[in-house]
């Protein structure tokens, strides 16, 4: 008799964004004349830039010829992309990872969800709160999170990020084995300065803690003093794994490509504490077994964003979204609403008026304005009392959504 993995039964029936989609669809059915504007799910709307589509067309033509056809690619990714990553994403910031420390994937979500396979199920974990749901859910699935009570998992160390502490999480006063950090942050849109990030690296070095650093939104950083990579901090190569994504950088949500960096210095101990094992080697073994590599066409597309034309074009797309964010911030502030983020990330984190529960406010705003947000409670206990808005819509929709929301807020 096959037995189910009962840890899966601890999860809610629907992933956060599935639940939102169901409620929005129900609204559309009952209000067919309302044009719904979605500022909830963080999907992009601008088309792929010309440099990317041209590279994809060339790659498709290669796949159509026996002389240039590609079958299975290397699990780490093709050297042409990894070399472009090192040259463009890291060397200008004083960082030089080896090629075999870079693992090309089908998007950061996969690797952030799967990375826990190479460490013991009973490691303690810490998360900044609120947090991207995948970090928690993937640990629930293997039993590492414990049991759920009053919205909190028993084996998770929550580090609140709220207006009261300026969204700067407090470093634990005890050792935690693994800590997830996401900066620029999803969902709050806030950032950590270099000095704040250095404190986390110092903590990890002192406590033998593994930092899992999600830098999916680094391309949106506007301020010069905000680090784009955790490896800009001295010592981080010994304690940190970094995740990158082209989904929001270059609109690859439908193309699927990103990468993970695992320095060879990052190790974890055996249970008897007699040996240190390189996590790079374990992840390489895991990928060789479970992953056949990202498609050649997607990797050629990713390579193209590093060309002079590609860099210029994706900067224009990012500027488009950040213009949306600036407009949204100004409009919401002008309406007397309390908002955060939106400066170095494409997310606006809005406090619900009067302390309205976030799920209730989500439905109130949907039915009053036809605009979709994401309830903050879906991101963790400290997300209660907030909602997330994204700047990834087209400009006209963002402007209309702000007109609807500000008119509603003024009533």
pLDDT in tens, 44-88: 999 999 999 999 999 999 999 999 999 999 999 999 999 999 999
Q: What is the mean pLDDT of the chain?
A: 96
Q: What's the mean pLDDT in 241-252?
A: 97
Which residues are known binding-site members?
15, 42, 72, 108-109, 132, 186, 217, 245-247, 256, 292, 388
Separation of CA 260 from chain center: 12
Residue 8 in this model has a pLDDT that exceeds 80: yes
Confidence of residue 13 (pLDDT cuts 50, 70, 90): confident
Kindly indicate the confidence band of residue 223, based on its pLDDT and cuts at 50, 70 and 90. Answer: very high
CA atoms in the 13 A half-sphere facing the CB of 128: 30
* Residues of each annotated binding site for substrate: 15, 42, 109, 132, 186, 292, 388
263-307 pLDDT tens trace:
999 999 999 999 999 999 999 999 999 999 999 999 999 999 999
Residue 15 pLDDT > 80: no
Binding residues for pyridoxal 5'-phosphate: 72, 108-109, 132, 186, 217, 245-247, 256, 292
pLDDT reported for residue 17: 80
Indicate the pTM of the whole model. Answer: 0.96
- Residue 18: band (very low, low, confident or very high) from pLDDT cuts 50, 70, 90: confident
pLDDT of residue 127: 98
Task: Please tell me the predicted confidence (pLDDT) of residue 212.
Answer: 98
């Amino acid at each position: 008799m096959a037995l189910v993995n009962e840890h899966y039964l601890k999860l809610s029936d629907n992933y956060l964004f599935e639940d939102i989609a169901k409620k929005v669809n129900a609204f559309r059915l009952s209000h067919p004349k309302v044009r719904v504007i979605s500022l909830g799910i963080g999907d992009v709307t601008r088309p792929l830039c010309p440099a990317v589509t041209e590279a994809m067309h060339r790659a498709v033509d290669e796949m159509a010829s026996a002389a240039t056809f590609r079958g299975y690619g290397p699990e780490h990714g093709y050297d042409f992309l990894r070399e472009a990553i090192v040259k463009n994403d890291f060397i200008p910031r004083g960082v030089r990872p080896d090629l075999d420390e870079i693992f090309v994937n089908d998007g950061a979500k996969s690797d952030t969800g799967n990375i826990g396979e190479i460490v013991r199920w009973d490691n303690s974990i810490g998360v900044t709160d609120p947090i991207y749901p995948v970090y928690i859910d993937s640990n629930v699935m293997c039993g590492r999170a414990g049991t759920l009570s009053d919205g909190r998992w028993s084996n998770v160390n929550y580090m609140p990020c709220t207006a009261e502490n300026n969204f700067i999480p407090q470093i634990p006063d005890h050792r935690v084995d693994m800590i997830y950090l996401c900066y620029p942050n999803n969902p709050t849109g806030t950032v950590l300065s270099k000095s704040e990030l250095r404190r986390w690296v110092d903590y990890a070095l002192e406590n033998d803690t593994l930092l899992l650093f999600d830098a999916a939104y680094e391309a949106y950083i506007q301020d010069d003093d905000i680090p784009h990579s955790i490896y800009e901090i001295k010592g981080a190569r010994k304690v940190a794994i970094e995740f990158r994504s082209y989904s929001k950088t270059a609109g690859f949500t439908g193309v699927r490509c990103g990468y993970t960096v695992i320095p060879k210095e990052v190790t974890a101990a055996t249970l008897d504490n007699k040996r240190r094992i390189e996590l790079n080697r374990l992840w390489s073994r895991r990928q060789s077994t479970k992953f056949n590599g990202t498609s050649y066409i997607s990797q050629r597309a990713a390579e193209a964003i590093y060309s002079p034309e590609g860099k210029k074009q994706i900067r224009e797309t990012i500027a488009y979204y950040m213009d949306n964010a600036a407009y949204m911030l100004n409009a919401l502030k002008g309406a007397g609403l309390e908002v955060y983020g939106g400066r170095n990330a494409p997310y606006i984190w809005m406090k619900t008026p009067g302390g309205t529960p976030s799920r209730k406010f989500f439905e109130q705003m949907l039915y009053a304005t036809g605009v979709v947000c994401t309830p903050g409670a879906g991101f963790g206990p400290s997300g209660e009392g907030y909602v997330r808005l994204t700047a990834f819509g087209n400009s006209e929709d963002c402007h209309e959504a702000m007109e609807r929301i500000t008119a509603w807020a003024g009533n």
